[in-house]
């Protein structure tokens, strides 16, 4: 922010809400494996007023940064908690991106490497309409593997990924550098 510029009351309110969210995110050292510090959004979901605050921040982020979204895609498993909330509020379709072997019907798959192993994600092929503008949401951006794989998956089905929205970004892991789409994170560590 340049000298002399000031935050509007609305920007101050959003900043306060984001700080409240950040203060309430749980931290679990050495989970799920030694050396990983796990940031947990479940602590927010246990507090209905705070969860509602998070929902309003996410909706505002979509309306500010990704207005052209025609569909919301959420990653297994925590993206399933926020993606449908956003989709329902904005009256958009929701597409689940799941771990391998969890979706019925014809699926498209994409493998990836994550902070502590390898995995594969899938999407039901007929859930993506060619050219559909899709926003991918998840709770966390760490190394970027699952979000990168999800974007490739949607593109394999001829969808247009317009960006990614996450609650938490772990900046030291540089996951953002793996993605070729705009990314908006609510809280950064």
Catalytic site positions: 78, 115
| Size of the chain in residues | 189
Residue 25 and residue 154: Cα distance in Å, rounded?
30
| Alpha-carbon gap, residue 89 to 46, rounded angstroms | 20
CA atoms of 175 and 141, how far apart (whole Å) = 6
Cα–Cα distance for residue pair 57/168, rounded to 1 Å? 13
Instruction: Give the count of beta carbons closer than 10 Å to the beta carbon of residue 102.
Output: 12
Taking the C-alpha atoms of residue 163 and residue 184, their distance in angstroms, rounded to an integer, is 8
For residue 67, give the 3-state DSSP assignment: coil
- The CB-side HSE value for 83 (13 A sphere, CA atoms) comes to 26
């Amino acid at each position: 922010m340049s000298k002399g510029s000031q935050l509007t009351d609305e920007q101050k309110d959003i900043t306060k809400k984001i700080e409240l969210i950040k203060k309430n995110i749980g931290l679990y050292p050495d989970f799920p494996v030694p050396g990983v510090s796990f940031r947990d959004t479940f602590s927010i979901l246990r507090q209905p007023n705070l969860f509602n605050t998070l929902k309003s921040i996410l909706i505002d982020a979509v309306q500010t940064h990704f207005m052209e979204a025609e569909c919301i895609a959420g990653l297994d498993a925590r993206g399933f908690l926020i993606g449908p909330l956003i989709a329902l509020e904005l009256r958009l379709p929701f597409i689940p991106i799941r771990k391998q072997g969890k979706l019925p019907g014809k699926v498209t798959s994409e493998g990836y490497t994550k902070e502590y192993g390898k995995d594969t994600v899938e999407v039901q092929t007929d859930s993506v309409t060619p050219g559909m503008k899709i926003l991918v949401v998840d709770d966390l951006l760490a190394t970027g593997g699952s979000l990168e794989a999800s974007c490739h998956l949607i593109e394999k089905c001829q969808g247009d990924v317009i960006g990614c929205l996450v609650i938490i970004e772990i900046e030291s892991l540089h996951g953002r550098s793996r993605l070729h789409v705009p990314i908006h994170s609510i809280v950064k560590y």
